[in-house]
Structure 1
Amino acid sequence: MLSQIIQTASQRVRELRQLKELTHEQLATLAGVSRQFLKKFEDEQTNISIEKLNDIAVALGIHISDLLVENNHFSIEEKLIEQIKMLSRNKTSRDLKYVIALLNAMEQEESSLH
C-alpha cells in the first residue's frame, strides 16, 4: 500500500491532468516518463521517486508541493483561469478580444447589481 502522501500526489496528478485536458500520453511525454508508468501512478499501483514527481509537476506547470498537500484543491477561480487558458489556445486576436469584452460586460453587470 502506498503512503498517504503518494496517494494524494497521484490523485492530484490525475485531477490536474484532466483539468488541463491532457492525455496520459501527452503528460508522460512532457514529463519524460512512460504512459504506462503515469497511468499506474495515477491508479495508485506504483511508487514514484521525488525526481519523477518533480518532473510531472513541472510538466503540469506547478510546484511539486502542490501535489503533496491533500487540501490544496483548486478554487473555482483557479479552475476558471485554467479553463480560459485551455480555450484560448490557437484562437485569433479577434476571438480573444471578444472573450475579454464578454468578461468586462459580465463584470459591469455584476457591479450594477450591487
Structure 2
Amino acid sequence: MPRHYPDSNQRPIGRGLLEGVRCERGAPYASAGRPRGPMMARSVMRYVRHRITRHPDTDVTFEAECLHCKWAATPSTDGVAVDVECMSHTGRSGHKGFRRLCTSFAIVVRDE
C-alpha cells in the first residue's frame, strides 16, 4: 500500500536499519551543477578511549543538612570539619539524621 506524503517534495529513500523515511528537498541538482547521487558519508568515525577524572583546578566540597530541621553545615573542603558540625548539631538538638553531599567537578580526557 503506498504511503501518503503531504509535501510533494518528500519521498522515501533507501532502506536503513530502521526503514525510516528521509526528506529530500530542493532542486534535483546540487549547487555545483552535478546531479545528486546516493548520500555518502562525509565524516570519519574514530574510536578513542577516554577517562573521567577530577578537574585539577577544583577541590572537593563537603556539605551536610539535617533531615529533621532546616539546619545545614557550612560547606568546606575538609570533610571531617563538616562531620564535627553534624555531631555538634546532634548534641544540641538530638537530631540524628543528615544528608551528606560531596561535590566535585570532573573532566573527560583522552586515555593515553
Structure 1 or 2, whichever has the larger Rg, is 2
TM-score range, shorter chain: under 0.3
More strand by share: 2
Superposition TM-score, scaled by structure 1 size: 0.19
Relative contact order (C-alpha < 8 Å, sep 6+): which is higher?
1
More helix by share: 1
